[in-house]
Amino acid sequence: MSDSNLALALSEQTLRRLPEIPENEASKTAHAIIAAGELLDDWLATALELPRPSPELTAARAALLSGVTPDWPTALFAPPGAAGTALERLRAAIAKPVPAPSPSAMPTQRIELFSLLGLLRRWWPTSINA
C-alpha cells in the first residue's frame, strides 16, 4: 500500500474494531492482526456477496492478498458501486475447489501405536515354531 492516507484510514478502522487493547505488546499485535483480518473478511463478504464463513470467502481473501488487485485499499474506501473493476479482477482470481467438495463416510481405521510388548506378541508365536 503506497498511499499513506489510505494506510492511516485502514489502521483507524482496524483499531476501532479492537474490543479492548490487551496489556502486553504481543497480544496487542495479535489482536490487531485478527481485527484487520475481520475487517477484510467483512468487506469481501459484503462486496462479493459471499456467505461468512465459507471456503469462497477464504479463496477471495487469498486472491486479495496475492496482489491481483493492488488498488484494493482504494476499493475498500470507495462508495458502493465505485469499486467495480477491482472487484471483477478479484472475482476472476478466486480459485475454485477442484474437485468439488463431497461429504463421504471415511472407513474406521485401527490405530496401532508402537509398543515393545506388541512386537513381542507378534514375534512370539513365530519364534516358538521356528
Per-residue confidence in pLDDT tens, the chain, 130 aa: 566 776 777 777 777 766 666 566 667 778 778 888 888 888 888 888 889 888 888 898 898 888 888 877 777 777 777 778 888 888 888 888 777 777 778 788 777 777 777 777 777 766 555 5
Calpha distance 101→53 (Å, rounded) = 16
pLDDT value of residue 129: 55
- Cβ-contact 90, 69 below 8 angstroms: yes
DSSP states of 11-63 as a string?
HHHHHHH-SS--SSHHHHHHHHHHHHHHHHHHHHHHHHT--SS-HHHHHHHHH
Q: Which three cell numbers stand for residue 115?
A: 509398543
pLDDT value of residue 32: 79
pLDDT value of residue 33: 82
Q: Where are the domains of the chain?
A: 4-105
- In degrees, rounded to 5, the angle at the alpha carbon of residue 104 between the alpha carbons of residues 100 and 106 is 130
Calpha distance 26→33 (Å, rounded) = 11
Neighbours of 43 (CB within 10 A): 19
pTM above 0.75, yes or no: no
Instruction: Summarize the chain as % helix, strand, coil (round to 5).
Output: 60, 0, 40
pLDDT value of residue 16: 73
